[in-house]
Amino acid sequence: MPSVRDIRRRIRSVDNTAKVTNAMSLVAASKMRRAQNAVLEGRPYSVKIQSLIANLAAQPMDDEAGAQPLLAVRTVQNATVLMISPDRGLCGGLNANLYRAVGNFILVRDVPVQAVTVGRKGRDFMARTNQDLKATFTDLGETPLLVDTHAISHMIIDSYCEGQTDEVYLAFTKYVSTMAQEPVIEKLLPIEPAKLTSAESVGYIYEPGNLAVLQSLLPRYIEMQVYHAIIESIASEQSARMVAMRAATENATELSGDLTLVMNKLRQESITNELLDLIGGAMALEG
């Protein structure tokens, strides 16, 4: 039987936990708003660049077009997965879901899969499961700029162009809503223009030429995809953390209430017992 003092101590510790989780959820909420904004602000650019590539790919090209390294489809002997993950935990099931998706993905591939990770959690996962970890990037911060992600996308582009890998997949947590985030794995390279949706098909004048435009457009597209995956993953992380921490705060408050109830009952009981003892003693004296 715990004493009143033990319970009081426990209540204090639960209350402190509630304070911490509450603060974390508030911080995550404000970071989430910023991250959501970044996702929304970047959307027009990404939509535009996709429709431009789709449009361009539909144009008649010279023979050299087939030689575009980023469009080249090769027999797959080696695949790479670029995993975008948070640097930190305490965000509900987000990390575990991403691990499961990536793990399954690697298992079903019948070719060796190399891993490149962004974020500490992804790196730890790859190291723990003994994957072929080629490179890892951490500490991008909460509001990375496009230039901050160039090192990542260029490494991917280079290794694809040099033939070190024949396929690249992008794994990250897609931001659906504040309540829902889902891990997705998308093909990044080779680019498949046929799958991109084009809003309009127009006969543009290409300056300085179709090929030159395509050549500079394709790397931009990859940079954009990587950047977008990263900011989307940040928005997911923050909203998952906000929800998880809010739930934790609620649980802690509830637990604290229950404990207070138990403590009051115990205290009352001990007072009653003491009174009974006193009365008993007094009666014995009078007796």
Catalytic residue set:
91
Q: Does 84 bind other proteins (CB under 8 A)?
A: no
Helix (H) or strand (E) holding 24, with range, is: helix 4-57
Q: Judged by CB, which is closer to other proteins: 66, or 208? A: 208
By the 8 A CB rule, do 78 and 112 touch? yes
Q: Which of 93, 111, 206, 277 binds other proteins (CB under 8 A)?
A: 206
Q: Which of 200, 283, 285, 286 binds other proteins (CB under 8 A)?
A: 200
The least distance separating other proteins from the CB of residue 59, rounded to whole angstroms, comes to: 10
Structure token digits, residue 278: 């006193």
DSSP state for residue 199 in the 8-state scheme: S
Q: Which of 141, 208, 284, 285 binds other proteins (CB under 8 A)?
A: 208
Q: Judged by CB, which is closer to other proteins: 203, or 287? A: 203
- Near other proteins by CB under 8 A, which window of 22-30, 118-126, 214-222, 240-248? 214-222
Q: Does 202 bind other proteins (CB under 8 A)?
A: yes
By the 8 A CB rule, do 65 and 211 touch? yes
By the 8 A CB rule, do 178 and 243 touch? yes
Q: Is 84 helix (H, G, I), strand (E, B) or coil?
A: strand
| Maximum separation of any 2 CA atoms in the chain, in Å | 118
| Cα atoms found within 13 Å of the Cα of residue 199, Cβ hemisphere only | 7
Q: Judged by CB, which is closer to other proteins: 6, or 158? A: 158
List, in order, residues 6 or more apart from 195 with CB less than 8 Å away. none
CB crowding 187-224: b at 16 or more within 10 Å, else e: ebbbbebeebebeeeeeeeeeeebbebbeebbbebbbb
- Near other proteins by CB under 8 A, which window of 189-197, 222-230, 261-269, 275-283? 222-230
Q: Does 207 bind other proteins (CB under 8 A)?
A: yes
Q: How far apart are CA 257 and CA 43, in angstroms?
A: 45
Q: How far apart are CA 74 and CA 212, in angstroms?
A: 23
Q: Is 79 helix (H, G, I), strand (E, B) or coil?
A: strand
The least distance separating other proteins from the CB of residue 177, rounded to whole angstroms, comes to: 22
The least distance separating other proteins from the CB of residue 43, rounded to whole angstroms, comes to: 10
One-letter amino acid of 49: I
Q: Judged by CB, which is closer to other proteins: 211, or 262? A: 211
Q: Does 147 bind other proteins (CB under 8 A)?
A: yes
Q: Judged by CB, which is closer to other proteins: 48, or 100? A: 48
Q: Does 79 bind other proteins (CB under 8 A)?
A: no
Binding mask 19-58 for other proteins (x = CB under 8 A): -------------------x--xx-xxx-xx--x--xx--
Where on the chain is the footprint of other proteins (CB under 8 A)? 38, 41-42, 44-46, 48-49, 52, 55-56, 145-147, 200, 202-208, 212-213, 216-217, 220, 223-224, 227-228
